[in-house]
Structure 1
């Protein structure tokens, strides 16, 4: 991959005009515009001292995480009231036996001792349960209803006591009351899973809670593993005829000439190095000069969908979700049509990186479901590549591109879109899909670029059909 600041020889006048003398002034590609944790600590410094400061910060963060993990484990058993009683026990013991000898403090000390002993005894033992967590479906589209259920069976020799089961669902918590069950008794309870947001919703593990009567301690018992519900972005069906922007579908002839192919173009005089198998003998006999066949090159279309994940390209989260749905719709349609397709997203620069990372991450295009699985976890980031740099990386790394869809938001300027288009060779059809819920859908043609604006996902079908009709 060539460096973003160096010109790349493509043989295309359009690509050459955008790369001379102005690349170093591009605010998206200059290393001093990088804004991550490292730059906030030491700025643009890269010396030994700067690396040492960053190292100390990273070690301090790890130590803090370890201490916090231990504190969370302890606090998960002892409640706030428990810590208060424990502090009261220590204070009463000191006042009653060491400092002042108050009888009241001694009585309070022994009351606290009794409460602590009762709390400890209440945590001994566990119910004999066999708990399973079941999901109706593991993959849904955003907004579709989804349910999960727990099934509890008593496995003890005697009747089990009732309990309360807690099931973490995403950022929330579902509770299920487990009644007292006789031996081999079964209780099943369903609960809803929220699917209003795209992503992966972790469900479980199922845990039961045991606590003392006063509430000093709380013990959680884990009964199942964790399940995941993948919430796909919403997509729409795009008819194959809507992709009429592609000029070389499934091996159709192009204007590129070649000495060997299947689509005949014309005859020309024989030149040294030509394959003798393509000599046209009848024309040779008439003209007295060796004549060979010339063909139009045919190739299979390669469609690329580049999705910008830079927060700077989008006005809000709604625009980004629309962009993800647009990219998914284009990719799924191409996969189902059996085309060669690549769907990529811009990589983000790590927190402690010294320089901006110029790369794209390819998503799986083996099956539509695999692509939607990958799109379910795509997120925007302030340090991700903007759309113009995504286009440059695609042009440098993906070969044989015939059409490129660049999906971005309303904050991307037209000049950036034209710069992104200039990164590709002249024979590549570039379509920028600008997602703007407040804009009227439409098609705008500028030199070397088609700009589609969509306000709703359903506008994509109409906009593509309009573009294909006038192409």
Structure 2
């Protein structure tokens, strides 16, 4: 609740008039003081009335690529039974506010407002809550309340079509690494039986020991597994609002989309995992619980932590876990001199591709067997990527 400047002035005047009226026995001043105090009290009662509003919102769509249109449809319903709602309301959309007219909204009726969501920049645009301001007719008191939760709109990086996809490598049991054109099934883990599983996949010995049916999970080791490592360190992308980071995000989105289109396993990692923004509010937290790789790219931001320690930790994890057979590392001009850290990963990843964005001169190869792609932006990276003949 907030009292306006007019209300504060009238309240001070009421106190002064009442004090002067009682002190000097002027009934006229006392009457004016009572009237002023009564006006402030009436304003408080009017502002305290809480309208019963039901607010629903729908993003159409809630996930778009940068530059594509997106709209927010907002419906406000007066759930009260007696009074019409005549309010000032505004909806938050990112860094701006959108006026929402709620004028003479009778009980049981609703009004719908739709507006464009800005998608000119990659990121997560929080939309909401609806802020309703209740004022008295004299403008003495203003009370603002929030309705509905925050709904995120995910603005993904632009995706540039890639025609080439790494063929991958399959590891045989004797340690050799070969390109495998056809599948080989390898045991991965055990899980509980669910309706629809084939009985020939039941592991009877384990089932007898634990007392319930357990089923073998197999994986196709011949499928190429692609790991995309996005360098989100601020030192790798110097400058204010660097375009090199946006280009790296576009390249990462393009590689991820190409892998998913080819039904290939793909993982997206950030050098500094804490460099992620999360939507605000319960709805945003629920949406952020199961976000995909493109959503993570939308939420990625530059991290200002210890750059060297972050890169070493990422390289250690990649070498220890061996998450795939093709590693794609995307960095900016500030990461040109640190490509040597990737040389130690050649034993774990047969194919290593490095994309450097925004560099003024060609990047060093870093290590034998590493493919280095210098590109000005995401579109140039896509053209260079399709021209690679050796993975």
Q: TM-score, normalised by structure 2?
A: 0.70
Report matched runs for 1:102-141 at 5 Å.
110=34, 112-127=36-51, 129-141=53-65
Name the structure 1 match of 2:320.
397
- Over residues 146-175 of structure 1, what are the superposed CA-to-partner deviations in whole Å (9 max), with x where a residue is unaligned? 112222344555572432222111222111
1:409, CA displacement in angstroms?
Answer: 0.8
**Aligned partners of 1:383 and 1:78: how far apart in 2?**
43
Change (3 A) 1:204 1:467: same
The 8 Å contact of residues 319 and 348 in structure 2, kept in 1 or not, is answered as no
Between Structure 1 and Structure 2, the one with more strand by share is 2
Name the structure 1 match of 2:300.
378
The SS at the match of 1:380 is coil
Change (3 A) 1:389 1:112: farther
Q: Find the structure with the greater CA-based Rg.
A: 1
> Is 1:177 aligned to residue 98 of structure 2?
no
- Over residues 197-247 of structure 1, what are the superposed CA-to-partner deviations in whole Å (9 max), with x where a residue is unaligned? 2222222222432112343321234443332222222222212x3536x4x
- Over residues 47-97 of structure 1, what are the superposed CA-to-partner deviations in whole Å (9 max), with x where a residue is unaligned? xxxxxxxxxxxxxxxxxxxxxxxxxxxxx533455455556666x379748
The SS at the match of 2:248 is helix
**Aligned partners of 1:394 and 1:400: how far apart in 2?**
9
1:311, CA displacement in angstroms?
Answer: 0.4
The 8 Å contact of residues 391 and 420 in structure 1, kept in 2 or not, is answered as no
The 8 Å contact of residues 403 and 429 in structure 1, kept in 2 or not, is answered as yes
Match of 2:70 among 146, 151, 155: 146
Report matched runs for 1:347-426 at 5 Å.
347=272, 370-383=292-305, 385-386=307-308, 388-389=311-312, 391-399=314-322, 401-414=324-337, 416-425=338-347
- Over residues 87-143 of structure 1, what are the superposed CA-to-partner deviations in whole Å (9 max), with x where a residue is unaligned? 6666x3797489x96979978855652442232132243445444323222222222
**Aligned partners of 1:427 and 1:223: how far apart in 2?**
51
1:395, CA displacement in angstroms?
Answer: 3.5
Name the structure 1 match of 2:151.
227
Match of 2:372 among 451, 458, 471: 451
1:400, CA displacement in angstroms?
Answer: 5.8
**Aligned partners of 1:340 and 1:135: how far apart in 2?**
29
Higher mean Cα deviation, 157-166 or 195-204? 157-166
The 8 Å contact of residues 159 and 180 in structure 1, kept in 2 or not, is answered as no
Report matched runs for 1:19-418 at 5 Å.
76-79=1-4, 81-83=6-8, 86=11, 92=16, 96=20, 110=34, 112-127=36-51, 129-157=53-81, 160-239=84-163, 241-243=164-166, 246=168, 248=169, 251=170, 257=176, 299-316=222-239, 317=241, 318-347=243-272, 370-383=292-305, 385-386=307-308, 388-389=311-312, 391-399=314-322, 401-414=324-337, 416-418=338-340
**Aligned partners of 2:323 and 2:71: how far apart in 1?**
45
Q: Gaps (5+ residues) in structure 1? A: 1-75, 264-297, 351-366
- Over residues 227-272 of structure 1, what are the superposed CA-to-partner deviations in whole Å (9 max), with x where a residue is unaligned? 2222222222212x3536x4x2xx49899549xx999xxxxxxxxx
Change (3 A) 1:213 1:256: same
**Aligned partners of 2:127 and 2:348: how far apart in 1?**
50
**Aligned partners of 2:365 and 2:181: how far apart in 1?**
36
**RMSD of Structure 2 on Structure 1 (CA):** 4.0
Q: TM-score, normalised by structure 1?
A: 0.59
The 8 Å contact of residues 231 and 376 in structure 1, kept in 2 or not, is answered as yes
The 8 Å contact of residues 139 and 232 in structure 1, kept in 2 or not, is answered as yes
Change (3 A) 1:161 1:409: same
**Aligned partners of 2:356 and 2:375: how far apart in 1?**
6
Change (3 A) 1:404 1:147: same
The SS at the match of 2:104 is coil
